[in-house]
Structure 1
């Protein structure tokens, strides 16, 4: 009666018996863990999204150079390209600037049509290395004909602050979820051991090793946590898809990661965590039922 593969059917049969004997506790545990994993998955999703946006902004870092009407644009482009850290310089005329703003505003772009004239000015779109933004902005502001230098450094800093806050919150929630999962799973296992104490005693009298006796309880804890993880992923899928549709419609300028890749990462993270916590919770529950001297 060791741990041979042929015992798999026995273990699954015993898990089914354990669930039937205390179906209310198992159901409540699954639902409780599902909502806990759902909250964790949402926070993890927000963290992934914010990190992706920051990476995209850093990879596509740029500053906008607005120039005076009397400025020589070709000369200004040449001088900007000579600054260390500048990757490329692209002139954007006033009509293109207007079209870009219409795309950014989305459904609110009708406000642009209220103007009798084009309120947007031509500018130079300067691609840069993000680490050189301060130096480039300072040097660009000193060039002849430059009227205004606008960068996205403050936006990036705010996003980094938000991402850092989400990361801290995520760590606390991860710790809370881990503790809650271990407590719920171990309690479920202890309850199962108590309800089946007579069967366990009989098996031990027949010489069955602890591994054989308690493995069904461990499998039960792991499957309970895994099922909760699967349910949480269903809720996360619909919630995330809704958020994607809302953000894409109202804030089209926000850069979001690919939905399919995003969900694959969430699935791997949630299921891996649920299995690991389920196993450790089961081990804790089993250990707590054994006599101190065993």
Structure 2
């Protein structure tokens, strides 16, 4: 038998196997689809979290409070040093501007500031930080470096907020990885079990093939292709579920979390990159499950 004829036979046999035990394969496809649907939602949530971190990180500023006795030349020299150290841009905020800003932020209570005998706020430099330094460690190192400069009376960068956001993102990623690993393991076991049932249902056909001289590799190949087809079909169902979820539930979620994530289109829930990832993951799940199943082939 030629190679082309063998490949054609394998695919026809795999397709026939799907038709031979539709309920068994339906269970496997549904299991893969549920796992990939959850993975797709987690992937999309991870992208949203990365976007949130990037947007909040872009607003991270280090406020450097200066001694009032510094001259204009000294302040300019300080500004240049800070821009060199951070890779960002430093903007001078004079005491009058800082008091006016505070008054606006306090609203009605801001009128009380006009009764102060003198402006208690010092001049400051608001320093934007380069993206690679917007981590708790990077900001802490920068703050220590800036505090050591002469003429600096204090440094503030919202340490607690940055550390909390970073800790939440790290916990969600690790938790998602652990949960995904557990789901994948369970999915492989279920797929392997369903394929073993399919192999058992076709044991007489397999015995006849062995009697006429078929090798184990020749007999196993269609079942491996069955697993691959199960994975691809499961991925297709998962993508359809994600698309439907984005259409029906996406707009509601987008409106609820728009204050954090900003305006976003729910139609982008299924991205080309995500679709490719899920199809590849589905095929791998099906193949791994089929390898586990045909590994016990000698017992059939």
TM-score using structure 2 length? 0.71
Q: Is the 8 A contact 2:195 2:227 kept in 1?
A: yes
Q: 1:85 to 1:240 in 2, by over 3 A?
A: farther
Question: Residues of 1 paired with 2:196 and 2:215: CA distance?
Answer: 18
* The one of 259, 262, 271 aligned to 1:250: 259
* 1:134 paired residue number: 140
Structure 1 residue 155 displacement after superposition: 2.8
* 1:209 paired residue number: 215
Structure scoring higher RCO (CA < 8 A, sep ≥ 6) equals: 1
Number of aligned residues = 276
Question: Residues of 1 paired with 2:111 and 2:215: CA distance?
Answer: 83
* The one of 185, 199, 210 aligned to 2:205: 199
2:213 aligned counterpart, secondary structure:
coil
Matches within 5 A, 1:81-160: 81-83=80-82, 85-86=85-86, 87-90=88-91, 124-129=125-130, 130=133, 132-134=138-140, 136-137=142-143, 139=146, 149-160=155-166
Q: Is the 8 A contact 2:243 2:269 kept in 1?
A: no
1:126 aligned counterpart, secondary structure:
strand
* The one of 264, 270, 274 aligned to 2:278: 270
Q: Is the 8 A contact 1:90 1:125 kept in 2?
A: yes
Structure 1 residue 224 displacement after superposition: 0.5
Question: Residues of 2 paired with 1:240 and 1:74: CA distance?
Answer: 57
Question: Residues of 2 paired with 1:118 and 1:81: CA distance?
Answer: 35
Of structures 1 and 2, the larger Rg is shown by 2
Q: Is the 8 A contact 1:221 1:279 kept in 2?
A: yes
* 2:231 paired residue number: 225
Q: Is the 8 A contact 1:43 1:166 kept in 2?
A: no
TM-score using structure 1 length? 0.72
* The one of 159, 164, 172 aligned to 2:178: 172
Q: 1:69 to 1:233 in 2, by over 3 A?
A: farther
Structure 1 residue 229 displacement after superposition: 1.8
Q: 1:197 to 1:132 in 2, by over 3 A?
A: closer
Q: Is the 8 A contact 1:54 1:156 kept in 2?
A: no
Q: 1:73 to 1:46 in 2, by over 3 A?
A: farther
Q: Is the 8 A contact 2:242 2:270 kept in 1?
A: no
Question: Residues of 1 paired with 2:162 and 2:8: CA distance?
Answer: 55
* 1:5 paired residue number: 4
* 1:32 paired residue number: 31
Question: Residues of 2 paired with 1:8 and 1:224: CA distance?
Answer: 18
Question: Residues of 2 paired with 1:252 and 1:65: CA distance?
Answer: 29
* 2:22 paired residue number: 23
| Greater alpha carbon shift after TM alignment, 6-15 vs 195-204 | 6-15
List per-residue Cα deviations over 1:99-127 (Å, max 9, x = no partner): xx9xxxxxxxxxx9x869899x9975412
Over the aligned positions, Cα root-mean-square deviation in angstroms equals: 4.3
* 2:41 paired residue number: 42
Q: 1:71 to 1:261 in 2, by over 3 A?
A: farther
Question: Residues of 2 paired with 1:116 and 1:76: CA distance?
Answer: 31
